[in-house]
Amino acid sequence: MSGAFVEVEDLVKRFNVSKPWLNRVLERLPEQTLTAVSGVSFEIEKGQTFALVGESGSGKSTVAKMVIGLLNPTDGTIRIDGRSTSDAAEATALRRRMQMIFQDPYASLNPRWRIDKIISEPIRVFGLLSDEAAIDRRVGELLELVGLDARDAVKYPHEFSGGQRQRLCIARALSSNPEFLVCDEPTSALDVSVQAQILNLMRDLQDELGLTYLFISHNLAVVRYMANRIGVLYLGGLVEISDTKELFTAPAHPYTRMLLDAVPSVAQVGRVRQPVQGEIPNPINPPSGCVFHPRCPFANDRCKAEVPALKVHDGRSIACHAVDEGRLPIGAEAAAA
C-alpha cells in the first residue's frame, strides 16, 4: 500500500429508494436503488487538500459523509493513516482525529446552546480536558485563533453573522485537535467577500496546524484557490483526477472542459462561450456505457456501450475513451493542436 494519509478505495453507496413494501406488492413494482456513489477511489497526502468538484447530485456530499462516518458505505474501504473505518474499534479511535465543517452555518450551531458549550462539546465528548477552567481557556484561545474574540464565548449563535458562524464551526472542529478535516461546501452559503476570509483562514490554519483537508465544492474558483489535487465527480463516479494547476490549464476529460468553459473570465471577454449542455441524468436509471455520453460532444458508439475506467495519463487519471484512444489530445498535445 502506498503511504497516503487518507485512502479511499472503490467506494460505493446505494440508497434504497423503493416504495413501501405494501405499495410494491400491490402495484407490482420492483425494488429501486439509487447509486449515489459508484466506485470512487482517491488518496490524500498528509497536509494536502484534495477537492471534489461536481454538479448538484454528483455525489460529492455522499462521499464526504461516508469518509467522516455519517453514512456507511455499501462497498469499498476508507483508510485513514492506515486504519480502516469499517472496523468499529478503529473507527472510534479515528473519530478523535477527524472533524467536519458543514455547508450551512445557520443550521450547524445548536441555537439553544451558548458558544462556549458548542465549542467545548468535542473536548468534553472525547474527555480531552477535565478541568473546567482549562476548557474555558481552550475555548477562548480557539475563538481568538479563528479571528473572533474570547468574549464571544458567552454569546448565543443568533448574535453572529454567517461568516462569524462559519468561524465558530471551524473553532468547534479544531477543538479536538483533529488532523483531518472534511469540509462540505464550507463557503457556498456565504457571500463572496466573506468566502475569501474563510478560505484564507482555512489555509492559514492548514499551514499552522498541518491539517489535511477533503474539500467539497461546486465552485471552481474556490477549488482552484484551495486544492492541491482535484477530483471531478460526475453522477457518482470520478471522471478525472489531476493536480490543480494541470486541471485548470489543460482540462482533459470532456466534462471537465465543459465545466471550465462555463466559467466566465476576464481573458475570455468577447469569446463565445460554450454553456454547460444538458443536465445530470437520473441516477436511478443512469445512461449505459460512459454515463457522460448523452452530453459529450466526442461520444461515439463505444462510449454508449462500454464504461471507461480511470487510466493514468502523465500523472493524472482520466476516465474517457476519447482520451484513451487519442481522439482527444490532452496537455501539450492539446496546446499544439
Partner 1 sequence: MADLSVDPDKVAQKLEAAKAEAPSLLTRLKRSDVWYSFTRSPVAIVAAIVVLVIVLASVFAPLFAPQNPFNPAELNLMDGFTPPMEPNQFTSAVYWLGTDDQGRDIFSTILYGSRISLFVGVSAVALAMVIGIVLGLVAGYRGGWTDMIIMRIADVQLTFPSILIALLVFGIARGLVPPDMRNDLAVWILIVSIALSDWVQYARTVRGATLVERNKEYVQAARVIGVRPFAIMMRHVLPNVMGPVLVIATIGLALAIIAEATLSFLGVGMPKTTPSLGTLINTGQDFLFSGEWWILLFPALTLLALALSVNLLGDWLRDALNPKLR
- Whether the CB-CB separation of 144 and 150 falls below 8 Å is answered with yes
Per residue in 312-326, is it b (16+ CB within 10 Å) or e — as a string? Answer: eeeebbbbbbbbeee
Q: In the stretch 143-162, what mask flags binding to partner 1 with x, by CB under 8 A?
A: -xx---xxxxxx--------
* Member of 25, 29, 107, 192 binding partner 1 (CB under 8 A): 107
176 binds partner 1 (CB under 8 A): yes
92 binds partner 1 (CB under 8 A): yes
Q: Are strands 229-234 and 316-318 parallel, antiparallel or unpaired?
A: unpaired
Q: Identify which of 15, 17, 19, 18 has the alpha carbon closest to the alpha carbon of residue 35.
A: 15
* Member of 38, 99, 187, 217 binding partner 1 (CB under 8 A): 99
Euclidean distance between the first and the last CA atom of the chain, given in angstroms as a whole number: 38
CB-wise, 17 or 309, nearer to partner 1? 17
Separation of alpha carbons 126 and 93, rounded Å: 10
The CB-of-219 to partner 1 minimum distance in angstroms stands at 19
* Interface size with partner 1, residues (CB under 8 A): 43
55 binds partner 1 (CB under 8 A): no
The CB-of-307 to partner 1 minimum distance in angstroms stands at 33
32 binds partner 1 (CB under 8 A): no
- Whether the CB-CB separation of 289 and 307 falls below 8 Å is answered with yes
125 binds partner 1 (CB under 8 A): yes
CB-wise, 134 or 332, nearer to partner 1? 134
Residues 179 to 218: which contact partner 1 by CB under 8 A? Answer: 200-201, 204-205, 207-208
Q: List strands edge to edge, sheet with 311-313.
A: 98-101, 180-184, 212-217, 49-53, 229-234, 237-243, 316-318, 311-313
The angle at the Cα of 274, spanning 335 to 270, to the nearest 5 degrees, equals 80
Q: Are strands 180-184 and 311-313 parallel, antiparallel or unpaired?
A: unpaired
Contact residues toward partner 1 (CB under 8 A) are 68-70, 92, 95, 98-100, 102-104, 107-113, 121-122, 125-126, 136-137, 140-141, 144-145, 149-154, 169, 172, 176, 200-201, 204-205, 207-208
